[in-house]
Each structure stands twice: as C-alpha cells, then as structure tokens.
Structure 1
Amino acid sequence: MEPEVNVNRTDVTDIHPCYEIDHFKYILANTPSFICILLYIFLVLLSVVTICGNLLVIISIIYFKQLHTPTNYLILSLAVADLLVGIIVFPFSMAFSLSSCLYHEDLFCKIRGSFDISLSTCSILNLCCISIDRYYAVCQPLTYRTKINHHVVVIMILVSWGISVLIGIAVIIAGLNSEKCEERCLIDVLMANTIGPILSFYLPVIIMLCIYLKIFIVAQRQARSIQSTKSGPKVSKMERKATKSLSIVMGIFLMCWLPFFIFITFLPFSNDSVPVPVIETLNWLTLSNSMLNPFIYAFFYSWFRSAFRMIISGRIFQGDFANSKLL
C-alpha cells in the first residue's frame, strides 16, 4: 500500500540501512551494511514462510476431497492471494521498497504498487467473505447449505478479486495523473489516503467486526440454552474456545492492518516529515498478515493439520490418498 507522504531527502542515508542517494535517486547501496543484510535475511525468511504456508493450504484443499466445501474454497481464494503476496509483492518490496519509491517512482514502482494494493485488498475482502460464511454457519445453520453453496461462493470470490483489481487500477491511474500536477492533486490525495483506505480496509473491517460480534452473541446464547442439559464446566469451555478463536482472528488482523491505515488516513493533516523506518515497518507489518493467515484459518482445524502432515511427510506421493478421512 502506498500513501502520499512528506519525507526529508537530506536524512535518507542516515535513517535507512539499505539505500543511498545517487544523483537525487534513491537506490540500493553498493555495499550494504550488516544491519541491511540481517534485515533482508529476515524478509526472505518471511517470504519463504508465507509461500510455504499458503502452498500447504492450497494443496490440501485441492488434493483432499473431504476439504472440497464452500468454506474451504473461500480459504483457498485467500491462500492464493496471500501466496501471490509472498511470490510477487515481497520480492518487489525488497527490490523497490516503499521508501525508495517515494523518492524516484519509476515503472517498477508503479508495478509494485499495483500488485501491493490489489493483492492486499483481495486478501482483506476474502477475510470478509469468510466472516460472512461463518455468520450463516453459526447464526442460521438450518439455511446455511441453501444460502452458502458453491455457486454463491464462486460469486463472492469473483467479486472480491474484481473489486481488488479495480481499486488497484484506480490508485495507479491516480498516481499517473499526479505527475501532471505541479503540486499534489486533491483527487489523488483523496484516492490514496481516504477513498482507497475506506474501500480497501475500513468498510470490510466494520463488516467483519459486526459479523463476529453477532456470531459471539449467538454462540453465547446457544451455550446458555445448552447449559440446562449439559454440565456447566463443559459449556464454559465452549464459550472460552469460541471467544478465544474470534479474539485471535480479529486481534491479529487488526494488529497487522490497523496501524498502517490509521497512519495513511491522518497523514495528509500533518506537515511533519515521516521517518522512513516508520513507513517501512508499518508496510511490512501489513504484508506479514499474509504469512499468518494460514496459521489462523487452517491450523485451528484438525483436518488441515492431518493434511499438512501427509503432505510434508510425502505420503501423498506414495499412493492415492485423495479420499482419505482426515481427523
């Protein structure tokens, strides 16, 4: 994601370990510092974990027929978006960092920004679709199979990817138009710092928060109704598990995304220069959510863990286990 920011050029070499100024261009240093090397090793590991984790989810859902459900197809779409973040956005962000593109925005920076915005938005919208699926599964279980079927899921996936591509294109067009302005154009600032964040983040987050709050309320009501026929400790355990799951899902998501979007939303109202490390840290924090999603939405389920063990051990190459019963 790329905000419109004010940065002090004279301080670049002092605050970023990997870049230097060359004829007013912000480029990678020929002799990177030790801190820069450690930083890139960490980012490469982050990219590898993101790719491997999402590949496990994708292979599991495609290979094992037990996982061919509408819910898992939404998780599959999310994993594909996060996989592309690991394959495309991570390398582009390391070669053409958000900081460097603030100083010298060339074609590769525009390509980087396009993939960054589109795939990040797609990841968020897929998370929103998963929350809608969970709402019907918990709050309207009797009509779940009729309202959330394969046809509906395909439409949800296509809409998520379509909106993401359109938002990415719109932001890039706004960036191209800004080159014709002597000063920052109002419409471009609104697109980058207001309209884009509202469509890409705030609206989906409000929807998810409302849905998960409704799910939590319904789950508590169901637990209380069961309490008359089951022991109190067992019901209490159910409530704690539901609360823990919802808290982890929304907590990690907001931890990764909320700081960055608050930053770019209120940035136009500040006249102070922005330290490069702040921009970089917030940007990489958002991208790290693509690494965490497989753990959040897959590792909670025992059948995914069984599928992962079979894939990692290589058992699926020793025979046909597509119809295996996953525990």
Structure 2
Amino acid sequence: MQYCYPFDNKSCFKEMRAPEVSVTLYACSVSAVLLTIFGNLVVIISFSHFRQLHTPSNLLVLSLAVADFMVGMFSMPFKLIKIIENCWYFGDTLCFIHSFVSFLLTSVSISNLVFIAIDRYIAVCDPLLYSSKITVPVIQVFIATSWAISLLYTWALIYFKGITFTYENVNVCLGECDVLYTDTWGLVDLITTFILPCSVMVSLYTKIFLVAKRHLRIINSMTQQMITNQRNQCNMSKKSERKAAKTLGIVMAVFLLCWIPYYLCIIIDAYTSFSTPLIIFNGFTWLVFFNSGINPIIYALFYSWFQKSLKLIVTLRICDPESSLIKLFPENH
C-alpha cells in the first residue's frame, strides 16, 4: 500500500501495479496523446495551408480538429496520469482549469459535429442552393456560435453550482480531482450535450443516406448514351458530396460508439444503486479520449488528399514557395 503524497496522512491511496503493467499503460497513453496531437495538427496545417482546401465545409472540420488538438494538449496527459496512478499531482487550481477546459472542449466537439451534419444535409439534399446558403461568413458564424455557446454553458454549469469538485470536500483525501453533478444539472447536461445533439445528428444523417441512395438509383438507371459531359460533371460532384457525407457520417458514428458507454455509466451510477467498477469506468474514459485521435485516422483511410498532404508536410515541401497552390485532388472532384 502506497500513498499519493507519502508525507501527508490525508493522502489518497496510490494504485499499485506491476512495473511491466505501468510501463505498458504509460506507453499506450503516450502513443494516444502523440497520435491525437500530431494527427489533428496535420489536419489543421492541411486546411490552413492548402488553398484548395479552403472551403466552407472544411472550416467546420478545422474547428473540430482544433478542439481535438486542444484535448490532446491540455486534457489527455493530466487525466491519463490520474487514471493510471489514481492520484492527482497537479493541485486544486489546475484541477479546476483542467475540468473547465475538458467540459468546454467536449461541448465544442459535439456542437461542431451538429453543424457538420447540417452542412452535409444541405450539400446532399439541396445541392443547387448549397453554394448560396453555405458561405464562408455563414460557417464562421456557425463556428463562433459553437465556441461561444460552449463557453457560456460551461460557465453556467460552474457558476450555478451544477457541478462540485471533490477537492472542495474536507473529507476527501489529498490527491483527488473528480467532478460531481447535482441531480438536476446531471439530467440537464445529459440532454443538452448528448441526447439532443445526437438525436439531431442521427436524424440528419439518416435523411442524408436515404437521399444519397435515391440519387445513386437514379444515376444507375441512366443509360450511358444519355449522359452528357455536363451531366457527368454534375454526377461527379454529387458523388463527391455523398463520399464526404459518408466519411463524416463515420466520424459521427465513431463519436457515438466512444461516448455512449461513458454516458451510460454516468446515468446508471446517478439513477440506480449500482456503481460502475473503477476499472470499467476508466476504460470508457480512455475510449472517450481515443475519439479525439481517431478522426485523423479516418481521414487518412478515406481521403487521398489527406495522404498527399501528410506526405508534403513530413517532407517539408510545404515550406516551398507557392506550395499552398499544390493541387491535392482534381478540380472536378
């Protein structure tokens, strides 16, 4: 038995593990953090540097990548150490800041995914009006709204005492940093940050895939003789929109798979007498953090432009003059 702070008799107990287990856990944690940071950094550099990627839709993906990058920088390292050691070594002030930033970035990621779903819905279901409805200023308003609402909600959660920090309890041991919801705010947070946005995303993507399936059936029914060059370009554009919607739909599906177990544990613990074993809850917390690093992998698997962009960044070709004008895909993609 060891303590987080050996010279303080109020210290919490430290998790005891075999050395090889600790090394494995830290190796996995470092890998996950580096993947999240550098994977999303590649996305940020790509969308920022290459002019061909400067589209309204990509601005939303850029905002999502920024939020995931910040998760890797400011949330994951501290939380993963806490999970492995069962000790918080960074003081009460940093515990508050870490919790605030984590709540903020989670809310930003979810709201960005909602706006991405809206963008893809308009692109696939109303393509003729997409360019007039979804412009760069409109997307900038979406992004500003996403961050502003998330900041306001996180501030309200703390200001109205919707959550309490365990270090504020005099009976809690030294080395603890957890957040407890009140019953009312726990339900509000569940609806606001999970049930409502996820319902919107599932509804929109269901409609997107139904429309995409109908478009594909219409295209397949056309004879080759009736397809003019202009119509062929239109079909290529629709195919591109459907592929983008499919890929971003996978992003949303992975998000749900990573977050649903975590929220189920919170619901079960809050409204039943059952208490989720710590090892299972920590595993689901790891899964939540993994979500921030998985999106660049999805882009790498489904987007050839991402693979080309990664190669240009790694080889430092982006430092060449006029490198921002390099074509990552054909103009009529």
Alignment correspondent of 2:144: 158
1:325 counterpart SS class: coil
Q: Which consecutive unaligned segments of at least 5 residues does structure 2 have?
A: 172-179, 225-234
In 2, Cα distance between equivalents of 1:122 and 1:111: 16
Aligned AA for 1:76? L
After TM superposition, the structure 1 stretch with the greater mean CA deviation from structure 2, 275-284 or 25-34, is: 25-34
Corresponding residue SS for 2:212: helix
Q: Which residue of 2 aligns with 1:289?
A: 291
Closer, same or farther in 2 for the Cα pair 1:73/1:247, shift >3 Å? Answer: closer
| Number of aligned residues | 301
Which amino acid is 1:210 matched to? S
**Structure with more relative contact order (C-alpha pairs < 8 Å, separation 6 or more):** 1
CA–CA distance in structure 2, aligned partners of residues 187 and 44 of structure 1? 30
Cα distance in 1, alignment partners of residues 248 and 49 from structure 2: 28
Decide whether aligned partners of structure 1 residues 36 and 219 sit closer, same or farther in structure 2, where only a CA change above 3 A counts. same
Distance 1:157 1:28, change over 3 A: farther
Supply the distance in 2 between the matched residues of 1:307 and 1:117 (Cα, whole angstroms): 31
Asked if the contact 1:135/1:215 (under 8 Å) is kept, the reply is yes
Distance (Å, rounded) in 1 between the aligned partners of 2:43 and 2:140: 18
CA distance in 1, matches of 2:47, 2:96: 33
Equivalent-residue separation in structure 2 for 1:76 and 1:246 (angstroms) = 13
TM value normalised by structure 1: 0.80
Percent identity between the aligned chains?
38
1:308 CA displacement: 1.5
* Matched ranges for 1:24-173 at <5 A: 24-26=10-12, 33-97=19-83, 100=86, 106-173=92-159
Residues 80 and 227 (structure 1), Cα distance of their counterparts in 2 relative to 1, 3 Å cut: same
Aligned-residue offset at 1:18: 10
Q: Mean alpha-carbon deviation: is it higher for 93-102 or for 251-260?
A: 93-102
State the partner residue of 1:326.
328
CA contact (8 A) 1:303 1:326 kept: yes
**Structure 1 unaligned blocks of 5 or more:** 1-12
Determine if the alignment matches structure 1 residue 275 to structure 2 residue 277. yes
Secondary structure in 1 aligned to 2:308? Answer: helix
Q: Is the contact between residue 96 and residue 112 of structure 1 (CA under 8 Å) also seen in structure 2?
A: no
C-alpha distance 18-50 of structure 1, shift in aligned 2 (>3 A)? farther
**Amino acid corresponding to residue 68 of structure 2 in structure 1:** D
> Counterpart in 1 of 2:176?
none
| 2-structure distance, mates of 1:314, 1:137 | 34
> What's the CA shift for 1:242?
8.5
Q: CA RMSD in A?
A: 3.4
1:147-203 superposed Cα distances (whole Å, 9 cap, x missing partner): 111111011101111122223223334234995899xxx982321x31112211211
1:203 aligns with 2:189: no
The corresponding residue for 1:306 is 308
For residues 24-71 of structure 1, give each alpha carbon's deviation from its aligned partner in whole angstroms, at most 9, with x where no partner exists.
433656997431222122111100010010000111111111111101
| TM-score, scaled to structure 2 | 0.79
**Does residue 216 of the first structure (1) align with residue 209 of the second (2)?**
yes
Q: Structure 1 residues 97, 38: CA separation in 2 closer, same or farther (over 3 Å shift)? A: same
